[in-house]
Amino acid sequence: MLKTVCQRKTANNIAKVRARIQQAARENARDVKDIQLLAVSKTRSVEDIKEAFAAGISDLGENYAQEAETKIKALGDLPLTWHFIGPVQSNKTEIIARHFTWLHSLDRLKIAERLSRQRQPSQAPLNVCIQINIDDEAAKSGIQPAELPAFAAELVTLPHLSLRGLMAIPAPVSQDQLKCAFSRMRTLFQALQQQFPKQQYPQLNIDTLSMGMSADLELAIAEGSTLVRIGTDIFGPRHEHSQD
């Protein structure tokens, strides 16, 4: 009985989040099909993830490589797509290269080179987003906006990575300041697409602007987000500081 109640609550939470995404898309004349929902499952149990999957979730975001590896192996029979969204340590790149389909938090060329070397040739290239430190926060990962063109130019030369776009976690400030941060991200994303026009780079598909979490997904969608990362509003609150 308890499991059934939990499943119902998770499904209800997911339905509410999807309704918010649909409403935000409608209000901003966007196609809801262009906005992906990523469920942030870090610190959540295998059972939590199974409940989310039963309610239609197939993309999961994780911050901790070893914890994620355990879950990925335990859930190997489910058609899930795993996204790494936390800071990447050098000694964890092999786990990410072998087990993940996406990395949203790339901000160092050394890490990119390791990931490309460690990705198996039999695997599809690892989809990567460059993390931007959009508010210039001293304690936050990400490159500076001015570093983007040169960093991206280096990334596209690596054979086992596929540059897909940008990611940011703006500072928790006022709604107006958040909107400005998301707007700056949209401008950077458009500049990245112009840097690598499809005619010259047919192998690239720069289509992902990963921004927006439980508290600010509407603002992010208004400014062009194509992927929102939602944890708390799907799985409920937790006791640690988190990305969502």
How many angstroms separate the CA atoms of 4 and 16, rounded?
18
pTM of the model: 0.94
Question: Does the residue 195 lie in any domain?
Answer: yes
CA distances from 187 to 134, 206, 209 (A): 12, 14, 11
Question: Does the residue 241 lie in any domain?
Answer: no
Q: Which domain holds residue 220?
A: 2-235
Number of domains in the chain: 1
How many angstroms separate the CA atoms of 75 and 22, rounded?
29
CATH number where 231 lies:
3.20.20.10
Q: Which residues contact 202 (CB under 8 A, 6 or more apart)?
A: none
**Residue 137's pLDDT is what?**
81
**Residue 5's pLDDT is what?**
56
Helix/strand/coil (H/E/C) assignment for every residue in the chain: CHHHHHHHHHHHHHHHHHHHHHHHHHHCCCCHHHCEEEEECCCCCHHHHHHHHHCCCCEEEECCHHHHHHHHHHCCCCCCEEEECCCCCHHHHHHHHHHCCEEEEECCHHHHHHHHHHCCCCCCCEEEEEEECCCCCCCCCCECHHHHHHHHHHHCCCCCEEEEEEEECCCCCCHHHHHHHHHHHHHHHHHHHHHCCCCCCCCCCCCEEECCCCCCHHHHHHCCCCEEEECHHHHCCCCCCCCC
**Residue 71's pLDDT is what?**
97
| Tens digit of pLDDT at every position of the chain (244 positions) | 545 656 788 999 999 999 999 999 999 999 999 999 999 999 999 999 999 999 999 999 999 999 999 999 999 999 999 999 999 999 999 999 999 999 999 999 999 999 999 999 999 999 999 999 999 888 889 999 999 999 999 999 999 999 999 999 998 888 999 999 999 999 999 999 999 999 999 999 999 999 999 999 999 999 999 999 999 999 988 644 344 4
Half-sphere exposure in the Cβ direction for 203 (13 Å, CA): 11
How many angstroms separate the CA atoms of 10 and 4, rounded?
10
Is residue 109 a contact partner of residue 151, using CB atoms and an 8 Å limit?
yes
Paired tokens of 16: 């509410």
How many angstroms separate the CA atoms of 203 and 175, rounded?
37
**Residue 8's pLDDT is what?**
82
Question: Does the residue 165 lie in any domain?
Answer: yes
Is residue 129 a contact partner of residue 165, using CB atoms and an 8 Å limit?
yes
Question: Does the residue 244 lie in any domain?
Answer: no
